[in-house]
Each structure stands twice: as C-alpha cells, then as structure tokens.
Amino acid sequence: MYKFLYIFSCITVFACCVVKEANSQNEVPKYTIDLDQPAESRWREIGHDFADLAPFLRTILKQKIPPAVFPLAEEVALYVDTLFDEPYPGELKGVAKATNLTLSEVILANIFYDLTAYCTSIVAQDEQDEQGDIFHARNLDYDNADYFRNLSIHVDFLRNGKLVYSGITFAGYIGILTGQKPLAFTVTLDERDKGYLWENIFQLLLAKTTPVGFFLRSLLANEESNFDYVIKQISQVEMIAPAYIIVGGVKKGEGAVVTRARIETLDVWKLNVSDGRWFLVETNYDHWKPPPSSDDRRHPAIKAMNQMGQKNVGVKGLFQVMSTKPVLNNSTVFTSIMSAKFPSIFTTWRRRCCA
C-alpha cells in the first residue's frame, strides 16, 4: 500500500512538472456530463459555450464533404431514433438545438470526426516494479488545427454523482476518440484511411452500423469493460469505417493495437516485454508495412521512445516523446497522457508546434 502511494505521489509530481514545462501549452477546458439528466439536455452548457464556433464547423463540413453526401445525412436525420442506440439520438438533437446547427449537420460532424484525424498513439509499460504499469499517450492531428484546438474539451461523465468515465472530445461531438475508464482501460482511435466517406454513410443507413466514437463511448460506459473484454468487443463488432484502436489496461502486458477493416479484424498487436516489445507506436498505417516517406511519424516516435528508455516511462517522458518533431507538428491539436491505474494523471494539453 505504501509503495502504491509513493508511486502515485511521484506520478502526480511529474504531472505537475509537465504542466509547468508546457509553457505556452494549456490544458483543454473541463466539463461534466450528468448521465442522470435527460439526454437532450446533457450537452446544453457545452453547446451554448461553443455556439459561436458553429458557423466555422458548417464551413469546414462544406469544404471537406462532397455535396452529394449532405442529402444522405438528411436521410439519416429522419431516422435518427432508429439508426442510433440510446442515448445518442437525444444527445444529437440536444447538440443541434444548443448550437443552432441542423440535426443533419451535427450527424455529419459526428461521423466526420471519426474519419479524418491523423494521430500518433503510444501504449507502453514501465519497469518501476514487477507489476509493470501501463501508460497511454496520444497526439491528435487535424487540418484546420487552430479551429479544433478551440473546440477541444475534457469531459467527465458522472452517474449518481460518481465518475464513470472520461474523454477528450470536441464541442458538438458526442462520441469519444480518446477515453479512460478509471481502473479498467484507456483507449484511443487512429484513422485508417481506407474507403470513402459516402461508403461510411451508406454503411450507417443500410447496415445500421454504429459510428466508431459512439461504440468506444459505449465500451467506456459498460460496467463489465476491462482490457480483455474491450479487445474482444473491438475485434468482433462491425464498424462504420476502418480504424486502428489502441487500448491500455491496468496489468502488466495489457497494451494492444487492433487493426480493423469494416467487417473484420486484420491484426491484434500486443505488448510483450519478454520479446523486447515494451511499447507500441501506431500512427495511421499498418504496423507491418513501412509508412510513407511523406508522413513518417512512426520512426521518429520509436527513436524517441528508445532514447527515453523503459525506466523513464511516465508522464514526463511520454510528454517529451510526443513533443518530438514530426510527432508534434503544425497540425497537432492536442496531446493526452493517461493511465487507467492512476486515473488522476489524465491530462490533455492544446499544442502548437513552432514552424
């Protein structure tokens, strides 16, 4: 017990040091969502706080999404109550009302975010003791990074006044792409660029497939969820789009990257310290293939991890790795660092990379 408290105290001190070292970086604002409240009212405060940015979101959607997709989104809006599981229909309607966006625009945003993020995720095991604590870090990159920095928020989801799970998301987006269930698991999603947006809309309409961010949020909300359960569910579910899903647990060896196609799982890549695999780096390319030379964040991240060393795995070390160029780049929106075993260290900073 004393050893645990000592480690926890050290981690907390490291987290405070990182915040001070971040200089111009600042933490994303924090909100709470009361899951005991009606679905349509849960996001009201957030929607009102960010309503002035809604026109920019509308502009970005028109820039990034083919015109033919918008009528499909309007079809989805007509059947929102049957296409999405609870509580998502009510929450989508509530966001639309609070932001003065149309329901179809909110639905498009909640699919668009799933498909267009370029990210670097790292899950690693330390060597502080025989238990092998797991840490999880991610940089999320988007075009129009300044806009998305302003939308980034940390949300704690409460039930009966107690924290159930937390996530980093964007105002107007009700799914979770970066999340933590305390004392259970952490999860991030990296985009796998296979297919077209219109295919994903058809997948939603015809197959009633849940958007990935909604699916991950449902796993975070599930009382049964732990590392093994989450890996099994991720490996079996049919998805709206291909993806890399990175998961960290609370026990030694509980770290994995699941490479998904829409219908099937292509690969489950796990930590294995005995084979020298004390960390996994996933960007946006299959780990068994070389990344393109035009976007090679993988090898700089691997080099930085090896220079850091397993003994320095933790908040401070991982923050420095995630600050290495081009892992940190001009499109980086935020950096998150988590550990489900030590949930209080979950911190996310808005990032700006110097030119």
Q: Which residue has the higher pLDDT, 210 or 13?
A: 210
Q: How confident is the model at residue 12 (pLDDT cuts 50, 70, 90)?
A: very low
Q: DSSP string covering 283-308, please?
A: -SS-TTSPPPGGG--HHHHHHHHHHH
At which of 79, 112, 145 does a domain end? 112
Percent share of the chain, pLDDT over 90: 68
CB 136 within 8 A of CB 246: yes
Say whether pLDDT at 208 is over 70.
no
What average pLDDT is seen over the chain?
88
276 and 160, same structural domain? yes
- Distance CA(245)–CA(251), nearest Å, equals 18
Task: Please report the pLDDT score of residue 14 as a whole number.
Answer: 42
Q: Which of 14-18, 151-155, 164-168 has the lowest average pLDDT?
A: 14-18
Q: In this predicted model, what pLDDT tens digit does every residue of 261-306 receive, in sequence order?
A: 988 999 999 999 999 999 999 999 999 999 999 999 999 999 999 9
82 and 191, same structural domain? no
CA-based nearest residue to 116, from 257, 28, 289, 241: 241
Task: Please report the pLDDT score of residue 115 as a whole number.
Answer: 63
Domain that holds residue 214: 117-350
CB 189 within 8 A of CB 219: no
Q: Which of 4-18, 75-89, 152-166, 312-326 has the lowest average pLDDT?
A: 4-18
In degrees, to the nearest 5, what angle opens at C-alpha 350 toward C-alphas 348 and 351?
120
**Is residue 18 included in any domain, yes or no?**
no
* Residue 10 annotated in active site: no
- Distance CA(139)–CA(25), nearest Å, equals 13
CA-based nearest residue to 318, from 285, 355, 278, 352: 278
Q: Total domain count for the chain?
A: 2
Helix (H) or strand (E) holding 13: helix 2-21
146 and 67, same structural domain? no
- Distance CA(150)–CA(53), nearest Å, equals 9
At which of 112, 144, 161 does a domain end? 112
Average pLDDT over residues 329-349: 97
346 and 330, same structural domain? yes
Helix (H, G, I), strand (E, B) or coil at 317: helix
**Is residue 218 included in any domain, yes or no?**
yes
User: Which own/partner contact pairs does 58-62 have at CB distance under 8 Å and 24+ positions apart?
Assistant: 58/101, 58/105, 60/144, 60/147, 61/105, 61/108, 61/109, 61/112
Task: Please report the pLDDT score of residue 207 as a whole number.
Answer: 58
Say whether pLDDT at 197 is over 70.
no
List 10, 16, 119, 353, catalytic entry: 119
